[in-house]
């Protein structure tokens, strides 16, 4: 059975590399025909994963219809582009297994990718692949454990997508898995801002802990199982993203905390997610002080010191 990875960014390419090394039949699709041609010729994604050799067995295409012939399709496009991408290709995705590999909350609707797919591609089988992982680690063959959230029996898909360096743990809680992966990016910006402003590691630990409480509180309000948030897709991803300089969201927070602009040319999903999360949390009546602070910070409505003062001046409460 063939697999298509749609999105030739760093993470999509890394997944395609790992699957191809595991002797799966894999096609990597990218929208830029020139980039795809270069990858086919040089067996390297020079822009996203320089120095990593692409397997010779990996197939490349800029033809979405050709790629979508696969039954299992991994969607590695940015979360804020997913709605339009699904709409543009809905016919091609009928009755396919769509595995979302991006993390975020749709800014237009305030929903996660599962709801978008259910709305736009109702005949598709929906799965979420998420958890603590960096593209470069996967591409280099380093061990990674991820969550595969899928309704119904997950065994066949779990087996199909597991490789020598990617170990998958299954769950039926798609909502919990996708919200954990989305919200941790917002908390990572907060942690980066604290470190960039010189507030120290104790402040970061506090933000991670209280951020995890926010993440769990909101996810449960949306029907998730709290136990899911304590796993790889929640706590595990939070730890990695809030402590590593490889994290785009953490790096963006570092820059903001130091009074600089986030690095250009990199997708920072936590920024639109923060705005979407604040709106969704208000609608749900869910208290999200750290997320509110991040939304205000990235929008330029407050400084790091202002956000810290607001958080510290909140009424004292039990943990």
> Is 184 among the catalytic positions?
yes
141: left (phi over 0), alpha (psi -120 to 50) or beta: left
Please check whether residue 273 is in contact with residue 214, taking contact to mean a CB–CB distance below 8 angstroms.
no
- Which residue from 145, 172, 163, 150 is spatially nearest to 227, judged by alpha carbons? 172
Q: Which two tokens stand for residue 273?
A: 């997610």
Query: Which letter, b or e, does each residue of 171-194 get, where b requires 16 or more Cβ atoms within 10 Å of its Cβ?
Result: bebbbbbbbbbbbbbbbbbbbbbb
297 neighbors 304 (Cβ within 8 angstroms): yes
Q: Cβ(296)–Cβ(307) under 8 Å?
A: yes
Which backbone phi and psi does 206 adopt, to 5 degrees? -65, -45
In the set 59, 184, 246, 317, the catalytic residue is 184
**Hey, which residues are catalytic here?**
184
């Amino acid at each position: 059975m063939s697999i298509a990875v749609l999105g030739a960014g760093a993470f999509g390419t890394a997944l395609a590399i790992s699957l191809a090394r595991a002797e799966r039949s894999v096609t990597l699709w990218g929208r830029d025909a020139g980039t795809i041609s270069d990858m086919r010729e040089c067996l390297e994604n020079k822009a996203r994963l320089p120095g990593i050799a692409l397997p010779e067995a990996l197939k490349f295409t800029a033809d979405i219809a050709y790629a979508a012939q696969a039954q299992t399709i991994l969607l590695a496009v940015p979360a804020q582009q997913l709605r339009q991408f699904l709409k543009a290709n809905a016919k091609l995705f009928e009755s396919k297994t769509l595995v979302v590999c991006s993390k975020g909350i749709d800014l237009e609707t305030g929903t996660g990718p599962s709801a978008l797919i259910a709305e736009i591609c109702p005949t598709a089988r929906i799965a979420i692949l998420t958890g603590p992982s960096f593209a470069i680690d996967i591409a280099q063959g380093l061990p990674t454990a991820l969550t595969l959230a899928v309704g119904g029996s997950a065994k066949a898909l779990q087996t199909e997508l597991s490789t020598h360096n990617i170990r998958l743990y299954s769950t039926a809680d798609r909502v919990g898995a996708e919200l954990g992966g989305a919200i941790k990016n917002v908390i990572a910006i907060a942690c980066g801002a604290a470190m960039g402003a010189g507030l120290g590691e104790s402040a970061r630990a506090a933000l991670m802990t209280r951020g995890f409480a926010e993440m769990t509180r909101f996810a449960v309000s949306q029907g998730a199982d709290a136990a899911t948030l304590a796993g790889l897709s929640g706590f595990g991803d939070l730890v990695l993203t809030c402590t590593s300089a490889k994290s785009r969201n953490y790096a963006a927070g570092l820059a903001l905390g130091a009074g600089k602009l986030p690095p250009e040319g990199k997708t920072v999903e936590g920024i639109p997610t923060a705005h979407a999360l604040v709106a969704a949390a208000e609608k749900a009546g869910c208290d999200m002080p750290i997320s509110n602070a991040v939304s205000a910070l990235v929008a330029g409505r407050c400084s790091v010191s202002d956000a810290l003062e607001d958080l510290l001046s909140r009424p004292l409460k039990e943990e």
